[in-house]
């Protein structure tokens, strides 16, 4: 079992300073959103701390974890950016002893989203879009939505990712489309 400070050291050692600044932004934003929307701020803090721990691992190492540890093999057929989320959840559980399934799921689905996202899933995924260091077109609008409506803000985030992927001619992971459609239904 590691203390929070030990986890901060372990995770920050695995990424460049610029990415660590992003993680600090996601921590701060997740905790703020947790207070606003009634999630557990301790869980939000922990999931945010862990969410990108594998982001700067070599892709081959991420793929090896997916293959050898029986993670969702479908991931191997889509953008490599999707791997780090499931790998992080696996490492957090197996190597760092994190045993809270809500925290592990929020890490695991922070990139793709999923159908039936929990409050904590939504908060970490949205915080990842709007933390203070982000500046993609439309981020200000998503930040404003995030003040009032968690689902609307997250939907705008997924829509922006999906539009970006289409714009770039990239393949879309089907779960992202399902997650997006599920949010539209929740907003009906």
Site string for ligand DGI, 119-158 (x = CB under 6 A): ---------x------------------------------
Q: Hey, what are 76's tokens?
A: 């191997």
Q: Does 90 bind ligand DGI (CB under 6 A)?
A: no
Q: Does 131 bind Fe ion (CB under 5 A)?
A: no
Q: How big is the site for ligand DGI, counted in residues (CB under 6 A)?
A: 16
For residue 165, the partner it binds in ligand DGI, Fe ion, none, with Cβ less than 5 to 8 A by kind, is: ligand DGI
Annotate 71-101 with b (16+ C-beta within 10 A) or e (fewer).
beeebeebeeebbbbbbbbbbbbeebebebe
How many angstroms separate the CA atoms of 111 and 175, rounded? Answer: 10
- What end-to-end distance do the CA atoms of the chain give, in Å? 43
Alpha helix stretches (DSSP H) within 95-118: 101-108
Residue of 111, 131, 135 lying closest to 121 (CA atoms):
111
> Which window, 2-10, 78-86, 87-95, 141-149, contacts ligand DGI (CB under 6 A)?
78-86
Instruction: List the one residue from 49, 54, 55, 126 that touches ligand DGI (CB under 6 A).
Output: 55
How many angstroms separate the CA atoms of 45 and 49, rounded? Answer: 6
> Which window, 27-35, 79-87, 96-104, 148-156, contacts ligand DGI (CB under 6 A)?
79-87
CB atoms inside a 10 Å sphere around CB 165: 15
> Which window, 73-81, 94-102, 114-122, 139-147, contacts ligand DGI (CB under 6 A)?
73-81
Q: Does 30 bind ligand DGI (CB under 6 A)?
A: no
Give the binding site for ligand DGI (CB under 6 A): 52, 55, 78-79, 81-82, 85, 110-112, 128, 161, 165, 172-173, 176
């Amino acid at each position: 079992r590691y203390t929070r400070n030990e986890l901060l050291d372990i995770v920050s050692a695995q990424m460049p300073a610029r990415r660590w600044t992003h993680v600090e932004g996601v921590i701060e934003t997740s905790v703020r959103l947790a207070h606003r929307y009634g999630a557990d701020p301790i869980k939000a803090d922990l999931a945010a701390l862990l969410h990108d721990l594998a982001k700067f691992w070599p892709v081959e190492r991420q793929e090896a974890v997916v293959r050898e540890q029986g993670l969702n093999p479908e991931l191997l057929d889509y953008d490599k950016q999707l791997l780090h989320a499931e790998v992080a959840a696996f490492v957090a559980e197996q190597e760092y002893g994190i045993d809270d399934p809500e925290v592990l799921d929020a890490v695991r689905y922070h990139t793709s989203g999923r159908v039936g996202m929990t409050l904590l899933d939504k908060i970490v995924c949205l915080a990842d879009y709007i933390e203070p260091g982000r500046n993609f077109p439309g981020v200000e609008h998503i930040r404003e939505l995030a003040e009032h409506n968690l689902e609307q803000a997250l939907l705008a985030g997924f829509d922006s990712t999906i539009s970006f992927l289409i714009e770039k001619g990239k393949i879309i992971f089907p779960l992202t489309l399902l997650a997006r459609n599920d949010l539209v239904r929740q907003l009906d």
